[in-house]
Amino acid sequence: MYKQTKICVVGLGYVGLPLARLFSTKYETVGYDMNVARVDELMSGIDKTCEVSHELLQSALDNGFRCTADLNEIRDCNFYVIAVPTPVDDYNHPDLRPLWGASETVGKVISRGDVVVYESTVYPGVTEDECLPVVERVSGLKFNEDFFAGYSPERINPGDKVHTVEKIKKVTSGSTPEIAEYINSVYASVIEAGTHLAPSIKVAEASKIIENTQRDVNIAFMNELAKIFNAMGIDTLDVVEAAASKWNFIKMKPGLVGGHCIGVDPYYLIEKAQVFGVYPRVMSSARRLNDGMGEYVASQVIRLMNKRGLLVKDSKILILGITFKENCPDIRNTKVVNVIETLNEYTDNVSVYDPCADKQRVSKEFGIELIDDLSDSKYDAVVHCVAHAQFSQLDVRSLLRENGIVYDVKGTLDRSKVDGRL
């Protein structure tokens, strides 16, 4: 059966590309993306997301893996994996348009006996209630008679070169017991960490969304503690270190919660819960608290500057990092932008430096022009927002004017070199 399986991964972003590359080590695999420029870039051996190295990608291409934007090139596949984003709209309502579009794509090429597996993070029920009816409508085929389905939530950790896709245990599920076993066997054949076969598609969907929601709630708790302890003049990270001396304390840190997962996925479960008459108070409060942390960080920086006698409107402020996490070029839903926007209300002299981010994309998405280097200016305040590896070697105090301050959002800089931290 392994030799007969031909895989198509729809969506070649942070999730789809590493998975497609991994599948290609055992199966004939095609990556499909509507973005022709992205396809051309990948076929030249370059991945601008930095999730797959040039060496790994080129090796895959040399061994038959290919990427395409042409539907005709994926018609002969029989195992379709959909890995597209699941964003929210301006009002934090789930936006299923990428999933509907990908389902239409598969509906145009799927044949009798084929399988489609969804990886995108959703609330329970989306696969069967929202996506598969689209595949049925477009293909003219009947679900669980002519074609079959499964759900295997992505667990990619962008920028993580240790916990790569093959080293993270994979949850799988299928629309029938036989198909579930087949889907599980395909993933198990490439995932070194093994798989967990869930009893249903809805269980698998729910398992993923609570992973991210749990983390969101835990970070919100730490952010609330940071606000309390900062008001008391107590260092939050010192408190965490002391508490973590007990074996069952869950050690987490406060911080900005952005990105395409933790800062977005809880809204899917929040909205669906209300359909069933349940208002999720803890999750909703956590989201509000975490979404407000950018403004809080900016207010803390301004407070420190005022205590030093620095007039904010005349001061030059440097932001270190704009991506949503360290060592990763991903700027989706980055909350560093909220820090910048708040500071811009007080001064026009805010500069942003990030060697990992794409300058053109940052300019297009946020209207922010990244500076090229740190050699030309001195600053009244440096705000360390993202813990890129390059910043750990940086002498931050050398960037300051006399009496300037360093604020460490991430809590990773040398304690003796910072004036305040979250």
Catalytic residues: 261
Output DSSP code: residue 88: B
Which own/partner contact pairs does 223-227 have at CB distance under 8 Å and 24+ positions apart?
Answer: 223/254, 223/255, 223/257, 223/289, 223/290, 223/293, 223/296, 224/289, 225/254, 226/254, 226/422, 227/296
**Residue 404: which of 388, 387, 418 has the closest Cα?**
418
103, 134 Cβ separation under 8 angstroms: yes
Q: Whole-angstrom Cα distance, residue 332 to residue 261?
A: 10
Dist. CA 65–CA 42, nearest whole Å: 11
Rounded Cα–Cα distance for residues 16 and 12 (Å): 4
Rounded CA separation 311/314 (Å): 6
CA-nearest of 133, 82, 87 to 106 is: 82
Q: How many CB atoms neighbour CB 1 within 10 A?
A: 7
